[in-house]
Structure 1
């Protein structure tokens, strides 16, 4: 099937999403706004050098603790040798690109489904430019994070170019990760008391 649309039993799927379940979720949130409040969590443990591991499992959402995941997801953060690591895993700024790509893609697909747009193909390329002088404290005028991130979306869908441009803009504006990266978000770092 090229146009990601199907009917299974009496359930209609568009772009791999159950359209009735999506409508039910939206209706439930409109009826009880507290269901929209989620808290996602991660823990991290340092291994050695630039290597550390993050674990993600339970979260709070839709008014309750969600413990439905049978196993935790574990991600190893590492660094390439040029950044004093051993390629133990992608580094954290690469994971940020991964999170950004995944969130913009998912937001795009969800809103395409909501607009009745079938997607045949979708892929993204991301490039983030960073100057390590900021991280290393060598130049206070250089920010320690990305200076710029560019996302190029390759999309084939059953809509006009204008509709596609509008959907891309909407996905950028409504992607939680993109929104978090593009605006100041308070982050606190504290030491746990023993």
Structure 2
């Protein structure tokens, strides 16, 4: 097979690093059996000292079964800067939230661009989250403990019109799982487990 023909076939079957055949198969499988769309992701966390704690992420449930394909867990160290009584052991949890939001918005953009036949040349984002620590420290009950606002500045180059890009990004804001989670109230329950 000619190298140029092979590259063209690869481009037809893949867009933005997404396998279009597998994407179509996944969508069809989910249409046939919506229960396959239900996933449960998990994280475990252990306090180390002060503001330092460590999260591990490994297994999850999805596509109708437990996924055990990861040979080792991913580990993330949560810390705080000295001004917040830490020693810069790692990014702090609200910074990890920005990381999760950036990653999810980027991946969702790439996925839905590929589904629409839009080739992405580049994407970069800068996120800023405004937070007032009076909420965390219970100094003012009128101040939320979390972010008051988050801004995502995105630079994106793609082979489509500005209108198509604006439509895509509007769609992404409503369909990025992390963005959707942050933008609506989500019940979170803290349950104390008693160790034997």
Contact 1:119–1:157 (8 Å) recurs in 2: yes
> What's the offset of the Cα at 1:7?
3.6
Q: Which segments of structure 1 move beyond 6 Å, counting only runs of 4 or more?
A: none
Which secondary structure does the structure 2 equivalent of 1:146 belong to? Answer: coil
Match runs of 1:8-157 below 5 Å: 8=10, 12-157=13-158
**For 1:55-108, what per-residue CA distance to the aligned partner results, in whole angstroms no more than 9, with x for missing partners?**
000000000000001110000000000000000000000000000000011111
What are structure 1's unaligned runs of at least 5 residues?
A: none
Which secondary structure does the structure 1 equivalent of 2:42 belong to? Answer: coil
TM-score (norm 2): 0.94
What are structure 2's unaligned runs of at least 5 residues?
A: 1-6
> What's the offset of the Cα at 1:30?
0.3
> What's the offset of the Cα at 1:11?
7.0
Contact 1:52–1:78 (8 Å) recurs in 2: yes
Which secondary structure does the structure 1 equivalent of 2:170 belong to? Answer: helix
**Residues 79 and 6 of structure 1, relative CA distance in 2, 3 Å threshold:** farther
User: RMSD value over aligned CA atoms?
Assistant: 1.3
TM-score (norm 1): 0.95
> How many residue pairs were aligned?
189
